[in-house]
Amino acid sequence: MSGLSPSLGLSGVLALRAEILERSQALSAARIGGPAEAAKLGGFGAAMQQALQAVNGLQSTSSADGAAWERGDTHDIASVMLSRQKASIAFEATLQARNRLLTAYRDIMNMPV
């Protein structure tokens, strides 16, 4: 997830998806290799932290662009609105991922043993 930046476009999202799939396969292989191999990859927590930092970066950029437009430092309203939409979409995607993780956790906890 090192390719995340505030200017994440469609190709960036597709590249991010491909990287997530690769890491998922690598984590599956690490399960066979043991905890030492999984620690080398960084694990799920590290991937989530990087994703949340990327979303936070997009939101910070959006706030900075909005503040610059309000001060009159820039007259390009299209770039301000674009950065706000990127931050909004990233936040919504993060929220949906959280909701799915919580649903999966609840389903697992409600399974009869």
The whole-number average pLDDT for the span 78-83 is 93
The span from the CA of 41 to the CA of 67, in Å, is 38
pLDDT of amino acid 42:
74
Give the closest residue to 62 by CA, choosing from 100, 95, 88: 88
The amino acid that residue 88 corresponds to is S
Could you state, in order of their start, the residue ranges of all structural domains in the chain? Answer: 10-109
Return the top range by mean pLDDT from 15-19, 38-42, 84-88: 84-88
∠ CA 57-88-1, nearest 5°, is: 45
Return the top range by mean pLDDT from 21-25, 36-40, 59-63, 74-78: 59-63
